[in-house]
Structure 1
């Protein structure tokens, strides 16, 4: 039977069964740690709504923090025919594996949060865009901004406790660099303790309890993320110390409520729903022929400092089932002239980002990237993206 006859038979079957004869939707796959975590639950919400807006089939896979399971998830979805992938890496070593597997399958991968030091997306193949882009908040600058806000709240002097995350992680390193940068500008702020809280509330609460016993005077606490900050806050309140400002980073709903109640001073929100939708849209655009420049292959994403002054406006902006983002308007292929990122987005200086990581012997950043960087791509692209940023997140 020839192809024309086969198509005719398929159409007849569709009519007889009442089924519609349409092309199968393209598949977009989000892969991350766990849906039990509030951050990733919000991430999933944004991804779902973006996929629906673009007419994509959406699949979400979680790995429970298991790096080997993450690789297995990618392999299974590639075997099933998926082509668009986005998400974080459970181990930075996974980045190269995932990028190479997606490249071999002719797909598109957008990485977020976790980059393998000295592995630029162009290193995955200068003649392809399989490792389309990498996105992350600027951890160093975000920590610097909120640390300065904390130090001002402390009256520019006093004893600071810094409870960190896991030693050695990329977010851990960048945020600590930001705190240290701020400390240099506030000589009367004394760092009296820096101990790991392992990114979670329980461990951080115990660390803070011990530090309260060891230090009779504490004037401020910097938590490496919201969970760390909340654990520290609880320990302080249990000890009857209710006027010590505490900060964190993430922008979780619980933290927003604590800010409204006056129990938590500030957080830095990364708007995970927007992160997910923007990453999916970027994967979609590259898969449909848009080619980002070399400087657009690694980009920072904006974050918002949340205090009592703007917490109501920010939470109201995001409340409700339908998110306030126009996902189609983000697309460079659907709106080549009037696209709108709907957040701050700007290029990463890769050498600066990886300056604390040992560079492999003989490695040099891709010539395509260094040429654009030398020609001033950072300032040019930052201005371009800002000029298109029309639908704004409350700040």
Structure 2
């Protein structure tokens, strides 16, 4: 036996079957009284309606009731109505770093501007946990989420979950060498990164120049990230490019800081114990730099006078340390930009916008922040008196089809550029969509289009400042 829509029904006695179908039919007498504020609030508390107004909730209820009534009239008792959660999430490898906290701040601000619900998931340094959190998003019928994942190899599994649950996702930083979004399907919509080797080359150059200006020459050390991580390898490459420009500077040691403050404090203490001649250190991020600065002060060294430190990511603490003269440089990635850009991206793809092939792997160009330009960076991104650094709705092409703005110099990242320095796997070839896009000039077209739309400059004033 089949139901009115043609689906097979279980083998039930007819009276029982009819009774079950009757119970599922729409009956307005069974609805709660949504004219009562108390009833609305009770249901909003029980459901995932964070950030949803009562008006929006009632609109959703009305849509569901209308769909249910229409389905019942057509004889379709098992109608499914979209949950309407409009949820996005940031899946961070750890909530303990200031960078991830600020990424979340940007994502939350963008979500609020776009009318989305938002969640920040702490992976607690466990990629398996991050995958479970992403799978949970799928069961909640969320729009999707974006990863700063601990183990890039887990993105393959994330791609499978995304396809199974039709949940969009994007990723930043770590991945599998020579792995692209086209290896798992359309739901892996974007792999995004700052152009790290160039950014960290500028950060390192500033440290080595400061050592040169103060001492003429000197020995320096490095704090690395998590060994094998894409970001770590790219930043190491940029640091080494800068080191080659300064024959008077000798890097004598390195230890992993693993992106964390406490790890970096201990690693710096170890480096200083091994070599008392060190006068400079390049860290992999500003959290590591903060740990290094603490270690220096603990042994009586004066950062910015006796010793020079560089970081990365442009966090609040990093920028303020540069203002205070104790940190030499950082890469102004603006973590808020990361969260805002990716949240807006997920909003757009969930609302029907489809990125071109050349748009699914992107770089953006960070600003190297030093004493010369840090004040402007702080005014916009750190101590901004509540003036948001971006026009969060302007990121969206769905809301602004003619005048959307990436609000940074964003451009296509070719796979060979992303993974330079990594040996190609035997037999690896560029996925067909990427090869075809390159052949027809799509990469250059996208680069030119993004540049033409970039009217709100990343290193300029906030677009929200009143003149």
Global fold match (TM > 0.5): yes
Query: CA 1:167/1:130 → structure 2, altered by over 3 Å: closer, same or farther?
Result: same
1:85 matched residue in structure 2: 145
1:42 counterpart (86, 97, 102): 102
Cα deviation digits, residues 306-329 of structure 1 (max 9, x gap): 222222221121324452321221
Correspondences of 1:229-248 after superposition (within 5 Å): 229-242=289-302, 243=305, 244-248=307-311
For the residues of structure 2 that align with 1:393 and 1:384, how far apart are their CA atoms? 17
For the residues of structure 1 that align with 2:172 and 2:27, how far apart are their CA atoms? 42
Residues 193 and 362 of structure 2 are in contact (CA less than 8 Å); yes or no, is this contact kept in structure 1? yes
1:149 matched residue in structure 2: 206
Cα deviation digits, residues 37-70 of structure 1 (max 9, x gap): 3222211211112111111122332221111111
Q: TM-score, normalised by structure 2?
A: 0.77
Q: CA deviation at 1:25?
A: 4.2
Deviates more, 1:78-87 or 1:353-362: 353-362
- The reply to whether residue 304 of structure 1 matches residue 367 of structure 2 is yes
2:59 matched residue in structure 1: 22
2:80 matched residue in structure 1: none
Correspondences of 1:62-101 after superposition (within 5 Å): 62-101=122-161
Residues 211 and 280 of structure 2 are in contact (CA less than 8 Å); yes or no, is this contact kept in structure 1? yes
For the residues of structure 1 that align with 2:347 and 2:444, how far apart are their CA atoms? 26
2:121 counterpart (23, 39, 61): 61
1:324 matched residue in structure 2: 389
Query: CA 1:223/1:16 → structure 2, altered by over 3 Å: closer, same or farther?
Result: closer
Cα deviation digits, residues 332-383 of structure 1 (max 9, x gap): 1211111111112111121232233344433322122123234444444333
Q: Which has the larger radius of gyration?
A: 2
Residues 200 and 239 of structure 2 are in contact (CA less than 8 Å); yes or no, is this contact kept in structure 1? yes
Residues 93 and 127 of structure 2 are in contact (CA less than 8 Å); yes or no, is this contact kept in structure 1? no
For the residues of structure 2 that align with 1:350 and 1:197, how far apart are their CA atoms? 28
Residues 25 and 55 of structure 1 are in contact (CA less than 8 Å); yes or no, is this contact kept in structure 2? no
Query: CA 1:97/1:46 → structure 2, altered by over 3 Å: closer, same or farther?
Result: same
Query: Which 5+ residue runs of structure 2 have no aligned equivalent?
Result: 1-20, 41-54, 61-83, 461-467
Cα deviation digits, residues 196-224 of structure 1 (max 9, x gap): 23333333333333433443433321112
Cα deviation digits, residues 79-131 of structure 1 (max 9, x gap): 12223221222211211111221122222111122222222111223xxx211
What secondary structure, in the 3-state scheme, does the structure 2 residue paired with 1:22 have? helix
Across the aligned residues of Structure 1 and Structure 2, the Cα RMSD in angstroms comes to 2.5
- The reply to whether residue 272 of structure 1 matches residue 335 of structure 2 is yes
Runs of 4+ in 1 over 6 A off after TM superposition: none
Deviates more, 1:200-209 or 1:44-53: 200-209
Cα deviation digits, residues 258-291 of structure 1 (max 9, x gap): 2222111111132111211110111111122212
Residues 314 and 335 of structure 2 are in contact (CA less than 8 Å); yes or no, is this contact kept in structure 1? no
Query: CA 1:272/1:12 → structure 2, altered by over 3 Å: closer, same or farther?
Result: same
For the residues of structure 2 that align with 1:320 and 1:99, how far apart are their CA atoms? 40
| Matched residues, number | 390
Q: TM-score, normalised by structure 1?
A: 0.90
Deviates more, 1:19-28 or 1:251-260: 19-28
Query: CA 1:380/1:11 → structure 2, altered by over 3 Å: closer, same or farther?
Result: same
Query: Which 5+ residue runs of structure 1 have no aligned equivalent?
Result: none
2:262 matched residue in structure 1: 202
- The reply to whether residue 104 of structure 1 matches residue 124 of structure 2 is no
